[in-house]
Amino acid sequence: MPITVHLHGRKDPLVCDSGICVREVVPARDSRGYPVVAALVNNDVASLQTRLAMNCTVRPLSVASQNGWLVFRRTVCFLLSVAAKRALPDCHLRVRHSIGCGIYATLRDAQDAPDRPVTDEEVARLRAALTALVAEDIPIRQELCGYEESVETFAKAGQHDKVGLLQHMNAPVVLLQVCGPYREIYQGAMLASTGQLTPLELLREGDGILAIGPSRHDPFVVAPHSINEGLMRIHREHAVWGDILGIHCVGDLNQAIADRCMTDVMQMSEALHDKKFSQIADEIASRRPLPRLVLIAGPSSAGKTTSCKRLGIHLRVNGLHPVMLSTDDYFVDEKDDPIGPDGKPDYEDIRAVDIAGLKADIAALFEGKEIRRRQFDFRSKKPVWTEERIRLGDTDILCIEGIHGLNPLLTDSVPREKKFLIYLSAITQLGIDDTTILSTSDNRLIRRIVRDNLFRGHNAKKTISLWPNVRRGEEKWIFPYQNEADVSFNSSLDYELSVLRPYAEALLAEVKPCDAEYATARRLQDVLKNFHPIPPNAVPGNSILREYIGGSVFQY
């Protein structure tokens, strides 16, 4: 039966036989000469191996697109695992997290054993195995398999992380990703064959392995890379937390939920946060001279507001009195918003903050003067001044949180020795399984979708449409200053996506295939479907998660 395919960039539609592969429809390279690695079929990401069975629109994707780049990264994770099975059959590789344009992985002598340092010889053998995979150009296929057969296949292969994930699913068939004799549970589109996995470089980094691919800016060369030791330290610390909790992948989390052990897991997770806040407050109190200004910064939906309030409690325990401000309350009137390159208001630009007004208030407070508290009304998009009066005593500490908190433009009038800088992130160590990482950016986006709907009146489509500009703003205005921080804090909670799932799924379902945001909505839905839900009433009132779902003991 013939179908009609509307190919992006082509004036006339194509009439094709039903069942034709995407790769037979799209060009090998896009208009810029970049290799096509996948496609949007009716705004959903599809592999080049996908067969078309209905009338559709098709848009080629290269690594220069966000969706194409994610396809490449997902394939790197899969083939790194395949290479390890070939070259190091007595070892178990675990993909830990992304870092820049790379993937960081570790080795263990058995799946349940602790990570151990890799050797140069092991990295060389992995590199040779990856090179061979690319040269062999093996197709990467999708295959349907019965549930029981899938469980048996992964159990025989010793892939207990996959078995643990399947134990909490009951679909009659399981979609698998297949490369030769190697199989993984399908978690999203991949490259059509191993020969497309180029460029790629494999290095030893510390005790682990770093696989670096291209950036979106140049798909033909390996991206420049440098290791941010602060972020790596956060990853290592959170991995230790995972060991303490006994939660390393989503299967472990789902088992804890099924065993009704989540109260302990949640209490321990929150206690680990509280311990970190206490340590930071102790460090501030011990500084000499005592800092008068504490700045908390980090990307969108990292939990800055709640972190500021929880830190304030621990500062008071140390005999200090914090006075809190938020840079969000210093946003300019909507008519004064800076305009981005797309012709729309750029809320991530530091000029979206009334810098002069914030500096004046800081100066007045340090001079012992009184100011009126300023707030920003996100619905009317205008600043308002409340009746609350604020004054800073001689021994009080001013705490300011916001995405631009570490930017020296805001506080250059305050000597560095009087400032204490905190960088906040939301980096999860939890993987869906040992091959599939959870994106920190996607985790934050899910937080923001839920929060924006509850407190700002936005639907998921609007929040997703704004996200690319948020990410560009982070690269320009936030990440360059993270190394200036005195301490870094990771606000992620391994159980949070289980709590956010019921909220987010309903909102994401409102994004339809005709919407440009559909591919992102589908990706987030695919992530969330792996998690058992947890009722929100189980979340403590002082949790960072309450900033997004409501019901916090703190006033915002």
Residue 456 has pLDDT above 90, yes or no: no
User: Would you say residue 275 has pLDDT above 90?
Assistant: yes
Point out the least confidently predicted range of 119-123, 268-272, 341-345. 341-345
- pTM here is 0.93
Higher pLDDT, 166 or 342: 166
Number of neighbouring beta carbons within 10 Å of residue 351: 13
Rounded to 5 degrees, φ, ψ at 74 are -60, -35
Q: Give DSSP secondary structure letters for 383-436.
A: EEEEEEEEE--TTEEEEEESTTTT-HHHHTTS-GGGEEEEEEE-----BSSSS-
Percent of the chain with pLDDT strictly greater than 90: 83
pLDDT value, residue 427: 86
Question: In the numeric block, which tokens belong to residue 59?
Answer: 């848009």
Q: What is the pLDDT of residue 542?
A: 95
User: Please, are residues 376 and 332 in contact by the beta-carbon 8 Å criterion?
Assistant: no
**Does residue 238 have a pLDDT over 90?**
no
Q: Measured between alpha carbons, how far is residue 355 from residues 89, 332, 422 in Å?
A: 58, 9, 20
Residue 36 has pLDDT above 90, yes or no: yes
Q: Write down the pLDDT at residue 99.
A: 86
Model pLDDT, residue 324: 95
| Strand-pair category, 208-212 with 201-205 | antiparallel
Lowest mean pLDDT among 70-79, 121-130, 239-248: 239-248
* pLDDT (0 to 100) of residue 23: 96
- Asked if the model's pLDDT at residue 409 lies above 90, the reply is yes
- State how far the Cα of 390 lies from the Cα of 366, in Å rounded to an integer: 11
pLDDT tier, 342 (very low <50, low <70, confident <90, very high otherwise): confident
Give the pLDDT confidence score for residue 379 in this predicted structure: 81
The 10s digit of each residue's pLDDT in 365-405 is 999 999 999 999 888 889 999 999 999 988 899 999 999 99
Task: Flag whether pLDDT at 309 surpasses 80.
Answer: yes
- The reported pLDDT for the residue numbered 428 is 82
Q: What is the pLDDT of residue 395?
A: 80
**pLDDT tens per residue across span 479-535:** 999 989 999 999 999 999 999 999 999 999 999 999 999 999 999 999 999 999 999
pLDDT at residue number 146: 97
Q: What phi and psi, each to the nearest 5 degrees, are found at residue 111?
A: -60, -35
CB-based burial label for 199 (10 Å; 0-12, 13-18, 19+): middle
Contact (CB, 8 A) for 182 and 153: no
Classify 346 as helix, strand or coil.
Answer: coil
Place of tokens 């036989």: 17
Cα angle vertex 135, ends 189, 40, to 5°? Answer: 20
Listed range (121-130, 198-207, 233-242, 544-553) with the worst mean pLDDT: 233-242
Residue found by looking up tokens 């010889």 in the block: 121
CB 452 within 8 A of CB 300: no
Exposure string (b/e) for 514-541, b if CB count within 10 Å is 16 or more?
ebebbbbbbbbeebbebbeebeeeebbe
d(CA 287, CA 290): 5
Residue 100 has pLDDT above 90, yes or no: no
Q: How far apart are CA 422 and CA 293, in angstroms?
A: 11
Render pLDDT for 44-67 as a digit per residue (tens, 0 to 9).
Answer: 999 999 999 999 999 999 999 999
Mean of per-residue pLDDT scores for the chain:
93
User: What's the whole-number mean pLDDT along residues 243-252?
Assistant: 86
* Model confidence at 111: pLDDT above 80: no
Phi and psi angles of residue 195, each rounded to the nearest 5 degrees, phi first: -65, -15
**Beta-carbon-side half-sphere exposure of residue 297 (alpha carbons within 13 Å):** 26
Hey, what are 203's tokens? 């290095």
> What pLDDT is stored for residue 235 in this prediction?
78
| C-alpha separations of 345 from 335, 341, 349 in Å | 9, 9, 9
User: Taking CA 368 as the corner, what is the angle to CA 367 and CA 370, rounded to the nearest 5 degrees?
Assistant: 115
pLDDT reported for residue 280: 97
| The pLDDT of residue 340 | 85
pLDDT band at 258 (very low <50, low <70, confident <90, very high): very high
Task: Give 172-195 pLDDT, tens digit per residue.
Answer: 999 999 999 999 999 999 999 999
